[in-house]
Every structure is written in C-alpha cells, then in structure tokens.
Structure 1
Amino acid sequence: MNIKRSQIASAAAFCACNALINAHAQNTSAQAAQIASATDTPQAVVVTGTRVSNRTQFDTLAPVDVFSREDIASVESSDLNDVLAQLVPSYVVQRLPMADGQVFVRPATLRGLSPDQTLVLVNGRRFHRSALLGSRGAQAADLAQIPTSAIKRIEVLRDGASAQYGSDAIAGVINIILDDTPGTEITAQHSQYGEGDGKSNEVRFKHGFAFGDNRVLVFAEAMQSDPTSRTRQRVDAIALQAAHPELKVPNPVQRWGQPDLKSQRIGYNSSFNLGGETVLYSYALLAHSDSTSDFNWRNPDTSTTVYKTSTVFPGWDVRSIYPAGFSPQYSNEQNDVHWLAGLRGRFSDELAWDVSASYGRNAIDYSMSNSINASMGPLSPTAFYLGRLTQEEKLLNANFNYEWRMAALAQPVNLAFGAEFRNETYKVRAGDVASYTVGPGAAIGLDANSNGAPGFSDRQAGKWGQDSYAAYLDVEAPVSKSFTLGAALRYENFSEFGNTTNGKLSARYAVTPDFAIRGSYSTGFRAPTPGQLNTNSTTQGLDTKTLLVFTSGRLSNTDPLAIALGAKPLKPEESKNLSLGVTWKTALGLSGSVDFYDIKLSDRFSTSASFAVPAGVANPLRYTSINYFTNDFDTTTRGIDVVGNYLTLLGRDKLNFTLAYNYNRTTVDGGRSSVATNSSQRTIFEERLPRQKATLSAAYDTTSWAALARVRYYGAWTDSTGNATGDIFQRFGAMHFFDLAGSYKITPKQSLRFGIDNVFNKYPDEAVFQASRGLIYSRNAPYDTDGRNLYIDYTVKF
C-alpha cells in the first residue's frame, strides 16, 4: 500500500469530518437540539465479532458494517451478491459469462481475497458452501441462494476472525440476520435493460406473526429473468456464411451475457418461548434454480476433431446434424437447503447457554444440449446429463457465555467458551455414459465426450468426507471505563490433515465518549475441503489464436500421475491479520470510521502450472494438459476502509449522506505456483481487481415519498489480452456509475418504487481478450457490463 495515499485519505476523512462539524455548529442551539433528538438514536446491538450482549456498531473492538432492510431494499437486484457489491466498498462480484459453472455460481471477494476466505453466517451460525470449485479451486458459500426479502439486517465484520469462528474467516465475516417482524408484505417487481433484453419479473411474499413471546415468519420468492447479450458476430462465422451462402448461420453464433434464469426460494424463521429463559429457535432456507448459458461455437470448417468423415462411420458427418456449426447449451439445476434448530437459555443471571444443530446441502446437476460426442458417430445423442456435485455439511454447536463480575472493574468481564463438531461430505455423481464415452471414432481423431463439457465419469464419481472438532475461549475485559481488551483462542482438529490453533488480541480506547481508537492482531486459517482434497475435473476451452478446442484435466493430489509431477498433500492456508483504526459519532448526525489493515497469507491455494501428458501414459480422456491443486503461494494485502455517514433534518424531512471507500492492494511475496513464478500470471493476479472502490449516496425522505442518488466508483484494473507475446495485458480505466431511485407511498399500506441503475448508460472500453469470439466487454469485469437497467416494483403491506 502507498503510505502517502493512506495518509492523504485519512487526513481527508478527518478534515471532512471537522468541516462538517464546524459548519453544522453554526446552527442555533434550538436547531442543534432538534437534530440531536432526531439523529442521535440508540445504535443497534451487533452480534458479529463479539459475544458481549450489548455491543453497538460504535463500540465494537473491530469494524462492523450494519445494513438494514431499507439499505438492502435500496438495491434493485434480488441477488445478495449484487446487494453487497453496492453496499460494501471492498466487496467485488463478477459476472464471468461463458466461464463454466462460475456463470451460475458467481465468485465474490472481500478485500480482494479468495471467495472462500470470507465466512458466511446466517443468524450467527455457519452457512454451507456451494458444491462448485471455482477459479483456483475456491469453494465458497453461494449468497445467491439466500432470499433478500427474508433479511432483517446484514452485519459485515471487516477483520480476521478464525480464532472466533474457525475456518474461512480470513478476510472477514458476513452475518445475515433473518427477519422476524410481524405483518404481511407482498412485492411484485419488473426490470429490464436499456438494450431491451434481460427482462426480469419477480414476486416476493412474507408473513410474520407473533403470539406472546413467540414469533414465526414464512417467506417465498419466485423470479424469472431473460438472458442478455453484448455480442458481435464472430469473424470466422462471417467468413463461413460468405463461403457457404446456402447455410443459415445464426447471428450471433454464441452469446456473451447473463444466463437465462428461473429461481424459487422459500423458508421460515421462528422462535418459541418454552418457559422461563428457555427458547427454541429454528429456521430453514430452501432454494431451487434452473439456468442456461451458451458455450463456444464449433465452426464446421475448422473444428476438424468434430467435423470429419471416415470409414469408421461410413456416410455419416456431423454436418448432417449441425450444418452451420453449433454452440453447446450448458445448463445448471441447483437445489439448496439449509436448516437449523437450537435451544438457548440461562443457568443463572451470569451464565447463558446455547446449543444448536444444522444441516446444509448444495446439489448442482449439469446438463448439455445442442452438443455431440463425435467419437460415437451416429449413435451419439445431442443432449447429455453431465452429473451432479453435492456439498453436505452437518454442525453441532455448544456455546456458553459467563459475565464475571470483579470488584476491581465497573463492568463484568465477558467469558465465552464452547465447542463445535462439523462433518463435511463431498459427492460426485457420474453423468450419462455417452457424456464421457470414448467411442471408436477417437481412433481417427474425433473428439470424445459430450462436446463443450465432458460429463463426470464413473472413475471421477465418489464420496469423500472430513470431520473437525473445535473448542474456543473468547474474553472481553473492560479494564477501565475507556479501555477494553479482547482475546480469543480456538483449537481445531481435522481428520484429513491434523490440528491448528489460532488466536486474536484486540483493544479499544475511548479518547472521548464520541471518539475511539481500536486495533487487533490475529492469526487465521482456511482448511482444504473434501472436494479440493479428492476430486478431479475436465475442462474444455477455445484457443483464442487458433479457435480450436482444447481439453485440460485437473487431477487430485492423491493421483499417482499428479504425485509424479510434483503434487504434495494439501494443507491449510494461514494468515496474520493486523488492523488499526478510529471511529467517531456526534449528536449532530455525523459518524464514521477509518481502518487500516495488513493481511499476510501463506500457503495460498491455487492450481499448479500445466503439464503435457507424458508419453506412454494412458490418456483416455484425451487431455492436452493436466494440473493439480497446490499451496505454493504467499501474498500480502494492505488497505484502508473509510466509512462516513451524515444525517440531518430539513424541516420534518431527513437527508442522509453516506460515503464508503476502500483502497486495497495485494502483492505476491513468493512461492512455486504459476502465480508466483509466471510474471504474466502474477500481474493478472495482482491487478485483476480495482485497487479503489467507493460509493457515495444521498437519500431524502419525507412522509410520503423518498429519493435516492448513488454514485459507484471502480478504479482501474488489468485483464489479459490472450496474447503470448506483445501486448499481454489490457488496462481498463476507472469507471463510475450513477443510479437514481424514488418511492412513493400511495397509501399507508401501498408503495411504488422505481429507479434507473447506470443512468448514463456507461460501458467500459471494449476488450481485446476473446474479441475473436464475439465478446465486446471483458467477461472478467468487476461490474455489470450490460448498460442501463430500469426497474419498478409495487409493495402492499397488511
């Protein structure tokens, strides 16, 4: 991180605060009292990153962002990834069209780290991972499975917390608190891009009821969205049409954009008082989705491994089925369930207890249509079931909280301790035999397997598990009225690789009642999952130079061939997190924080360099190259988060300004993986995401209508050109998007909301990489590249 830039950002934040305070101090005492009365309301109690029962956002020992249901509703998308990308400055999510499973399960990063280095909780309990192993093998939770309409608030802890929560909490923690508010709400929403595509319709319903101290909320959502396309016709498709005027070549032959999507989500959240201090609580989230995306077009004049006649299949040619070529259609069907039940209560005024059990499962079925297994000739089907990936997680938790009152201290010391058992299971189900069959045509060079994505073979299928046992101790001690110390220690043992112990020290000093300094140091880890430890996969792609298909294989680290090529047993990624910051609030409506952080990661997870298959080695899947997972990769991430909020009154109306800014830089420190040793891969890794991201919003609320204006800023970033020599990289400049939204209360029970995201219809520079395939804007962009989006929704409450 550039220290001068950090100092400038910090100084600017404090100068802005002082200017606002000084300007606002010119109000008369009566006006100041009125503003203080309206804006200095008690802050919400947070439950993330602390086990003290009365911590607020201002007095936590580490930075915690809190987003209300109104904040969540201010973002048009019902995909929680998009919501967080607009609300959290260091959170970035990509679209990645035509990127295999990642077009459906989108990777999202916090502070530029791997998607699976952020822990996701629901109501304070771990949410299960997706079954997809994405870029560099990352296996993260899929936030798109959680319905936004069922959320009461979101707490984002921007600090390492493995010592408190276990594996994955390196970049931070996202805790989703489900709604339990009584009442009924129904919302219908329609949106569409300015280009006329991507139409989306959604209906959301929730009903909450209370009887005594008992609460139950049920909810349901259904959504359907059309695909988008930001595509030009491929040059080779134009040439094919010119050379064969008798053919009807589709324009475009393949589509770059968002997939066709249908989804349904249902669930409940409940709590029941069983008498005294004992409460039974439970929730369930169930989601189903179907989605389809294009794959690369196969040109009949150049795809010689598909379009070839031979005596093996006399009189048969793929042209009889696909005379103008074909673009395989890749489909994803997901079924996701997460269920939890628990009991909590108190043994005494000082000692509270909480036990729970949960089950999470994500299953993804893949299929391919508009395809062919050319090696099977005329016996090949044109549609294939490719198989299923399943991630299952079972958790048992026992937590205890003791308020230790000491005569020397004005407030009690909070002692939290507990234990956890977690079982993870990963399953691979084989696809149709035809999806991975090597037919007789392979002998003369015809491609085996379903073209576009081979199915999981019976040799890849299997079931693997891992158990872990953990125990933790968490202490927060109010040394004085101004000074608080915290410490946490967690021991965890994994059946597949052994044990790990992590700790955290944190402190907060209140210089004044409204200004405090805080900091922490912690160690952390992310354990390899059963899917990463045991599975192998096959991927097909297209060479951007030759436009020919290639097939690469990723072997498990226990495969004899992978071991011969240098694969070693996987071990946990480890981190050292350091943070230091200040936070403030005033009775005049001004609050905010500035936090610096330094995260050192060792043994980071990645894929090895690719190797050619050695001569004489059996290669039934016809791999052109193979690789495996590896730990050889270290990084340092440094950055600064600046958050500010100013709330004031204009008569009886409220005006709220919010600023969120993040500067983040990751550098590779060394290692033996391709990221560390290949200068091109290293540059792409270090500069693939913007180092700066910011959001500035202004909200104006009256009794009957409200307006919101938001500016989203993304700094410059770098992508690959796909060239082996010459201009290897393409630099994309900074982008900013302007969003407008408004709402009107038709009656006290009915409201209408409407808005435009990307009002000025801004697009980034056109991409060089994969332009030969018709792509216009980089698929690796850290923002939406579909242009202006318009939406309207109607809500009725009972």
Structure 2
Amino acid sequence: MTFKRRKIAGATLCALTCLATERGAAAAESPNSADVDSGQSVIVTGTRASNRTQFDTLAPVDVFSREEIAAVESSDLNDVLAQLVPSYVVQRLPMADGQVFVRPATLRGLSPDQTLVLVNGRRFHRSALLGARGAQAADLAQIPTSAIKRIEVLRDGASAQYGSDAIAGVINIILDDAVGAEISAHHSQYSEADGKTNELRAKYGLAFGTDGKLNLFAEAMQSDPTSRTRQRADAIAFQAAHPQLTVPNPVQRWGQPELDSQHLGYNASVGLGGDTVAYSYALFTHSKGTSDFNWRNPDTSTSVFKTTTVFPGWDVRSIYPVGFSPQYTNKSNDAHVLAGVRGNLSDALAWDVSASYGRNAIDYGLHNSINASLGPNSPTSFYLGRLTQDEKLVNANFNYAWNVPALAQPVNVGFGAEYRNERYAVRAGDPASYAVGPGAAMGLDANANGAPGFSNTQAGRWDQNSYAAYADVEAPLTSRFTVGAALRYEDYSEFGDTWNGKLSARFALSPDVGLRASYSTGFRAPTPGQLNTNSTSQGLDTRTLLVFSSGRLSNSDPLAVMLGAQPLQPEKSKNLSLGLTWKSALGLSGSVDLYDIKVRDRFSTSASFAVPAGVANPLRYTSVNYFTNDFDTSTRGIDVVGSWRGRVADGTMNLTAAYNYNKTEVDGGSSAVATNTTQRLIFEERLPRQKATFSAAYDRRVWSALARLRYYGSWTDSTGNATGDIFQRFGAMRFLDLAASWRVTPTQTLRFGVDNVLDKYPDEAVFQASRGLIYSRNAPYDTDGRNLYVDYTVKF
C-alpha cells in the first residue's frame, strides 16, 4: 500500500496538472451551462475548461436537451440514445437470458463496456450482468429519463481523462436542477394490440436558503409483453400426434418481456458559506421482469421426458403432458449515491472532493421447469442465485487558471487523484437448481432446465482496487490555435499499472469554421467478475431442436489452464480523429469527424472445447470455453452532424440530420473471433455499418409537431447453432415517426404520436423459424411494428 501511494504521489507531482474529471460536474451545475452563441451549448464533457461550447471544443460532443429527450417515446435511456445518436445501437435480444433485461448497447460498433457512463460528471457503476463475450457495462435503463436535464455524448477516446472504459467515448448524464413541479402520465400500445405500457412520472424542484436547491424524481412503469411468434412446426406435429391433448399456441413467445420498474432519486446542492458548496445526488431503481425460454417437446427432448428404473412409475409427462417453456425471471435492485464538496482556494484555484457508492444486484429465478435428474423430488420453480456489482469511488481534484503573460487567455491546468474499489459477488441458488441427481446416470438432464442455478462452488466474492493520478492542460496559444494534453496513471491490484495520454488541437480557420484533431491511447481493465467467475448456459440448436449446455470457466480454473487459458490483461486502444466544425449567424451549424480506433488484446470468449476424456464433467457440458483477450481490431468511420434553426411563418423550425458510417475489422489474434470464419463474420457484420436520423420539429403558438426518419443499413445474422452456422443478410430499414403536442393551457400539454408510422417489419428470419421466431432476435432495431402513444403533462 505504501509503495502504491508513493507511485501515485510521484505521478501527480511529475504530471502537468489539469482540471479533474469530476470538476466537469461542478461546471454542469453552474450558470454557465446556459445556451449561448446561436444555440451552441457550453459543454462539460471531454474538456476541463469552463467556457467550451460544442463549436470550439477540441473533440466532438453531442448535446441533447431535455426537450429532445422527451420527444422520444421510450423512457428507456437506451432507446432514447439509439434514436438520437447515429453511432449508438441497442438490441432487444428476446429469450437471451439476462440480456433481455440488461440490453447490450454499442457506440461506434465497439463493446458495450468500452463506453464510459457518467452522471453529473462522475463514473456510474456497472451492471452485475456479464453479457455477450463477457461485456460488463453500465445499465442505462437504471437512470430515469424524466430526471435528466441534458445528455452530453463525447465521441472520442478519453481514457487519459476519465480512466478505464472510455475507448469508444463517454456518455455524461446531467441531472435536472430546475425549480418547479411536473407530473406526466404516459400510455402506449403496439398496433398488434400488445405491449401496453403505462407510466407515471413526477419531479419537484425547490430552492431554499440563499443558494440551496433540491430536486426529487419518481417514476413507475408497467409494461406488458409483446409476441411476434408462430407456432413451432414440431409443436404442430406434436398436436397432430396427440389429438387428446391441447397444446398452447404458440408454445413459446418471442418478444419484449413483461416488465415493472420504479425509480426514485434526488439532486441537491447547498452553499456552506463563501465559495464552498456541498452537493449530492442519489438514484434508486427496482425492477422485475419475466421472459419465455424455448419449449421442451415431450417427443424429442428425451433427456427430460424419459422413464428410468431409478424413478419407477415416474414420468415428467405427468407434470408437463404438453411439454413446457421455462419462465425466466429477473429482479434487479440498483442504487447510486454520491456526495461531495467543492470550493475555491483563490480566484484562480478551485478544488472538488467527492465520494460515491454504486450497487447493482440481480436475482434470477426460473418457473415452469424441472430438474429431471431429481425425478419426483424436483421442484418446478427455482431460485437461481444472485449477481452483485459494488463500486466505491473517492477522488480529489484541483483546477488552476494560469495566467501566462505571453497568452491572451489563461492556460487551464489541474490535477487529481482517485481511488476505486470494485467488488463482484455470486450467491448460490437453490441446491435443486444446480443439483446432479441420481437420474443423471441414466441420461436425465441435471440442473434447472433452461437456466442452471449458480452452484456453491461458483459462489464467492472478489475485489479489485485501483489508484489513479491524472493531469490535463488546455492552452490557447493564439486567438485561433488551442492545444491540449492529458496524462493518466492507474495501478490495479489484479494486473499492475498503465499509463495513457492524449494530445488534441483546434485551429480556427475563421470565426465560424474550425479544424480539430486528437490522438489518444486508452484501456479497459478486466473486472473482478470477468477475472473470477464461472457460468453455465443452455441453448437450442435450430437444426436438431435439441438443448445443449455450455460452460464458461474462469481463467484460473484448472481445466481452463489445461486448455490454454492465460491471465486476463487490459484491452488497449489507439484513437485518432480529425474533424471540421462550423456555425453561422443564419442558424446553421454542424461537424464532420473522421476516426480510426485500433484496439488490441480485445476481450472475448475462447474457442469451445470438448471436455477431455477422464476429466470430471458433473454438469455434463457439451463444450467449455474461457475468457481471453487475444484478438485485435480496427474501427474506422465518419460522423456527420448538421442542424438549422430559424423562423418559418409564425413559428420556429428546427432541422437536424446525423449520419454515421462505421466499419470494424478483425486484424488478427488466436481467439475464436480471429481464427473461426463463422465467429469472425458474426463479429464484423452483426451491426449495420450505416445509421442515420433526420428530424424536423416545428413549434407554432400552442401547437408543435415532430417528424423523424430513422435509417439502418444492412447487417448479417446467424442461427446461433452449436455447429453448422447458417447466415442471413438483412437489408436496410427505414422508420418514420410522427408526433404532435397541444398546449391545452400554459401549464398543461397533451402529446400524441406514432413510432414506425408505416408499420415496417424486417425480412423474416428464415433460418430461425423452426423455433417459432418470425423476426431475428438480434435485430438492431425494434421488430414489433407500429407503436402509438399519448402523454399528458402538468407543470406547476
């Protein structure tokens, strides 16, 4: 510990100091956050200066106002960003275990956990779920949209400024601090007469004392499931073979889950005298949901529906005569609390100290299932266990405005240090959920069928500590030329230390046109959950319609080591960007940014291995794998953003357009992604390379209207079979959304709208139709058709 502290102190003293990461939150709450200069907002993300706008910042930053956020029908922040940010893609993934509820989202086609999420400039904790290829990212659905003042999206590498995870960019959520009260009610439903959603939102902001503020937030939402399903062919055959039985139609449901959620929170600040301010915020969420799993056919699922001499006279058909579709449940409790104090030591030197705690806990359950190996002693409902992610963060930051006689404006200089602790925990489920009963020796499936529980050997708690020192400088060398440099040192208890840096510059070609460029290195540290946990999953081969079980072993597991597992290391990146930005007095503004992101030692799962003969395999794995970070990628693309705001007739028109082209290629490595043609194709073409949005908003007196066109380019999907993958190419999709608002009174607004007005659906997923699915489960957009909604809002 003493040696680490000395290294931190040395790094801090050697670095040219800068405004700390979290100092941006203080600027976010200051009066300077108001819109200035032809609609250009003062931004606090990706810069340490307190007066940067979108136009003159050294890196591309998108700013979305509260009104733009509210104009998106969904209250899920993932859906909001997917409609507003062209390079942001989120998937639904029905029947994909925990990812049904913690949906994977990508920025610029990179991994979900390669984008850093901040709230009021502070790091937001991760979800407890390890998703596809082990990605463990923050769950944006835990943040209520009605509590948001604005969102800033930094589209640039920023690990040198913010630390681990900021390879693709940074999403900074600024919480509302306005005085006043608001209550809104929302109702929506798909034109297929399902997916009905009801939501109630309330917030109240008050001022107290001379400079105190308190904002309270609350939301409650209930959403019914959707179903875009046909009856499975084998279910039709089963019904024909057993006319005396009544088989449900469909036997399983593909669509959005049933979901209930509640959000509570506050955002507060109060003056302590002089320039000293205490501040705090907290967000609490509880949610629960249910999703279907694949149907078990009594005539073909022989490892479940099988009579043996071990259990004479007992047959699973006595419980499930028409088979069963397990029901997967998710109960999540999420909390994030932060408190801090900031002030000024002099007119030029500011300080900010804060501490935060974040926690995400997910309890999993399985109903309408069986552990066939236990025979008549098996329950039909199981508690599968709990995953928990805890994070503690303490930081101290300083900012100094250095007046250099040779420069017309001060050099922005600062420094800071940070301590972070991550803890990951796995709680075992019911013993019956992972038991290997006496029937296993006769071929009956062990574990809860559909999702085995976490066993007592998988349970445990694991910690990782990190210490950081960081520095940043922004220097206006001339009135037209500004340069920036950032440096960050971090030391992790599990793998050692890392240095990352960033150089950036901006040159004003004219008062209304600027060139900007940056080069940075970045990293994403493996988490305790990725380093230490084992898991079991089950899938369905769409050709044989048989269930298979896979095991993912920790890298320290003796079998994984025997198969070639190595200790995990950080992913490392190099990010180069070049951009042009402009604005005009006529209300026109925009930017074009090119980027090239190289990531090496990327994190994924290894190739799958059969369990060697003679090695114990109590869970009867069909195959096993482990995490590895042995492949490299290059991501190249372009972002184009433009807007125009002006008067049309008696109203105000706001036109916005945004386009992203993004291509990721695998450069090499020895992992499954790099060496397996199937996995490589899935990785490189699973998301559209092109995505665009165009919107027109018109506001005239008591009426306003919005039209938004969304475009998704073509992409490739696979069946997901254990072997023999088959691919299908899906063409481009266009969606039209319309909405209108009527201000009934100065304090009451009625809004109604339709998403996907033309009721567009993608091509059917022909290679997945054997299990009743109509549209691909991996689609990068909603596949439920037209959605109609109405909002009623009252302000006090």
Counterpart in the other structure of 1:115: 112
**1:161 & 1:632 partners in 2: Cα distance?**
23
**2:549 & 2:642 partners in 1: Cα distance?**
50
Counterpart in the other structure of 1:87: 84
Identity %: 80
Which residues of 2 match residues 152-301 of structure 1 at below 5 A?
A: 152-211=149-208, 212-301=210-299
After superposition, the Cα gap between the structure-2 partners of 1:50 and 1:429, relative to the gap in structure 1 and judged at 3 Å, is same
Checking the alignment, whether the CA contact within 8 Å between 2:726 and 2:767 is kept in structure 1 is: no
**1:608 & 1:320 partners in 2: Cα distance?**
41
Counterpart in the other structure of 2:44: 47
SS at match of 1:683: helix
> Aligned to 2:428, which of 427, 430, 435?
430
Query: Deviation of residue 724 (structure 1)?
Result: 8.7
Counterpart in the other structure of 1:510: 508
Query: Deviation of residue 769 (structure 1)?
Result: 3.2
> Aligned to 1:589, which of 565, 587, 591?
587
**2:541 & 2:289 partners in 1: Cα distance?**
26
Counterpart in the other structure of 1:540: 538
Counterpart in the other structure of 1:485: 483
TM-score by length of 1: 0.95
**1:719 & 1:184 partners in 2: Cα distance?**
46
**2:577 & 2:118 partners in 1: Cα distance?**
22
Counterpart in the other structure of 1:421: 419
Checking the alignment, whether the CA contact within 8 Å between 1:574 and 1:603 is kept in structure 2 is: yes
Checking the alignment, whether the CA contact within 8 Å between 2:542 and 2:719 is kept in structure 1 is: no
Which residues of 2 match residues 541-620 of structure 1 at below 5 A?
A: 541-620=539-618
- Which letter does structure 1 place at the counterpart of 2:546? L
Query: Deviation of residue 39 (structure 1)?
Result: 10
> Aligned to 2:133, which of 131, 136, 140?
136
Counterpart in the other structure of 2:26: none
**2:529 & 2:613 partners in 1: Cα distance?**
29
**Any idea what the Cα deviations from partners look like across 1:545-600, whole Å, max 9, x if unmatched?**
11111110000000010000000000000000000000000010000000000000
Checking the alignment, whether the CA contact within 8 Å between 1:588 and 1:648 is kept in structure 2 is: yes
SS at match of 1:754: strand
Query: Deviation of residue 703 (structure 1)?
Result: 2.0
SS at match of 2:391: strand
SS at match of 1:375: helix
**1:474 & 1:723 partners in 2: Cα distance?**
49
Counterpart in the other structure of 1:702: 700
Query: Deviation of residue 723 (structure 1)?
Result: 7.1
**Any idea what the Cα deviations from partners look like across 1:289-326, whole Å, max 9, x if unmatched?**
00000001000001000001111111110000000000
**2:288 & 2:519 partners in 1: Cα distance?**
43
SS at match of 2:576: strand
**Any idea what the Cα deviations from partners look like across 1:86-112, whole Å, max 9, x if unmatched?**
000000000000011101100000000
Counterpart in the other structure of 2:55: 58
Checking the alignment, whether the CA contact within 8 Å between 1:40 and 1:588 is kept in structure 2 is: no
**2:661 & 2:79 partners in 1: Cα distance?**
20
**Any idea what the Cα deviations from partners look like across 1:416-472, whole Å, max 9, x if unmatched?**
210000000000000001101111111100011110000000000000000000000
Counterpart in the other structure of 1:127: 124
Which residues of 2 match residues 452-467 of structure 1 at below 5 A?
A: 452-467=450-465
Counterpart in the other structure of 1:10: none
After superposition, the Cα gap between the structure-2 partners of 1:263 and 1:300, relative to the gap in structure 1 and judged at 3 Å, is same
Counterpart in the other structure of 2:730: 732
Q: CA RMSD in A?
A: 1.1
SS at match of 1:682: helix
**2:531 & 2:213 partners in 1: Cα distance?**
42
Checking the alignment, whether the CA contact within 8 Å between 1:721 and 1:768 is kept in structure 2 is: no
Query: Deviation of residue 665 (structure 1)?
Result: 0.2
Checking the alignment, whether the CA contact within 8 Å between 1:39 and 1:648 is kept in structure 2 is: no
> Aligned to 1:765, which of 763, 776, 779?
763
Query: Deviation of residue 70 (structure 1)?
Result: 0.2
**1:694 & 1:298 partners in 2: Cα distance?**
41
Checking the alignment, whether the CA contact within 8 Å between 1:189 and 1:793 is kept in structure 2 is: yes
**Any idea what the Cα deviations from partners look like across 1:738-766, whole Å, max 9, x if unmatched?**
00000000000000000000000000000
Counterpart in the other structure of 2:15: none
Query: Deviation of residue 544 (structure 1)?
Result: 1.1
SS at match of 2:235: helix
- Which letter does structure 1 place at the counterpart of 2:497? N
After superposition, the Cα gap between the structure-2 partners of 1:702 and 1:40, relative to the gap in structure 1 and judged at 3 Å, is farther
Counterpart in the other structure of 1:654: 652
Counterpart in the other structure of 1:355: 353
Checking the alignment, whether the CA contact within 8 Å between 1:39 and 1:647 is kept in structure 2 is: no
Q: Aligned residues, how many?
A: 761
**1:254 & 1:412 partners in 2: Cα distance?**
65
Checking the alignment, whether the CA contact within 8 Å between 1:269 and 1:283 is kept in structure 2 is: yes
SS at match of 1:686: helix
- Which letter does structure 1 place at the counterpart of 2:102? V
Checking the alignment, whether the CA contact within 8 Å between 1:259 and 1:292 is kept in structure 2 is: yes
- Which letter does structure 2 place at the counterpart of 1:585? K
- Which letter does structure 2 place at the counterpart of 1:179? D
**Any idea what the Cα deviations from partners look like across 1:508-543, whole Å, max 9, x if unmatched?**
001111100000000000000000000000001111
Checking the alignment, whether the CA contact within 8 Å between 1:40 and 1:587 is kept in structure 2 is: no
**1:580 & 1:676 partners in 2: Cα distance?**
29
- Which letter does structure 2 place at the counterpart of 1:194? S
SS at match of 1:153: strand
Query: Deviation of residue 40 (structure 1)?
Result: 5.2
Counterpart in the other structure of 1:96: 93
Counterpart in the other structure of 2:445: 447
SS at match of 2:99: helix
SS at match of 1:769: helix
Counterpart in the other structure of 1:474: 472
Checking the alignment, whether the CA contact within 8 Å between 1:722 and 1:769 is kept in structure 2 is: no
**Any idea what the Cα deviations from partners look like across 1:234-254, whole Å, max 9, x if unmatched?**
000000000000111000000
- Which letter does structure 2 place at the counterpart of 1:75? V
Which stretches in structure 1 are left out of the alignment for 5+ residues?
1-37
**Any idea what the Cα deviations from partners look like across 1:593-637, whole Å, max 9, x if unmatched?**
000000000000000000000111111111110000001110000
Checking the alignment, whether the CA contact within 8 Å between 2:541 and 2:722 is kept in structure 1 is: no
- Which letter does structure 1 place at the counterpart of 2:558? P
SS at match of 1:54: coil
Which stretches in structure 2 are left out of the alignment for 5+ residues?
1-34
**Any idea what the Cα deviations from partners look like across 1:356-402, whole Å, max 9, x if unmatched?**
00000000000000000100110100000000000000000111000
SS at match of 1:242: helix
Which residues of 2 match residues 255-404 of structure 1 at below 5 A?
A: 255-404=253-402
Checking the alignment, whether the CA contact within 8 Å between 2:258 and 2:290 is kept in structure 1 is: yes
Deviates more, 1:561-570 or 1:649-658: 649-658
**1:355 & 1:42 partners in 2: Cα distance?**
32
Query: Deviation of residue 679 (structure 1)?
Result: 1.0
SS at match of 1:531: helix
**2:37 & 2:71 partners in 1: Cα distance?**
23
**1:396 & 1:415 partners in 2: Cα distance?**
21
Deviates more, 1:417-426 or 1:306-315: 306-315
After superposition, the Cα gap between the structure-2 partners of 1:216 and 1:407, relative to the gap in structure 1 and judged at 3 Å, is same
- Which letter does structure 1 place at the counterpart of 2:136? Q
**2:289 & 2:380 partners in 1: Cα distance?**
19
**Any idea what the Cα deviations from partners look like across 1:622-669, whole Å, max 9, x if unmatched?**
111000000111000000000000111024410111001000000000
Query: Deviation of residue 770 (structure 1)?
Result: 2.0
Counterpart in the other structure of 1:670: 668
**Any idea what the Cα deviations from partners look like across 1:150-179, whole Å, max 9, x if unmatched?**
000000000000000000000000000000
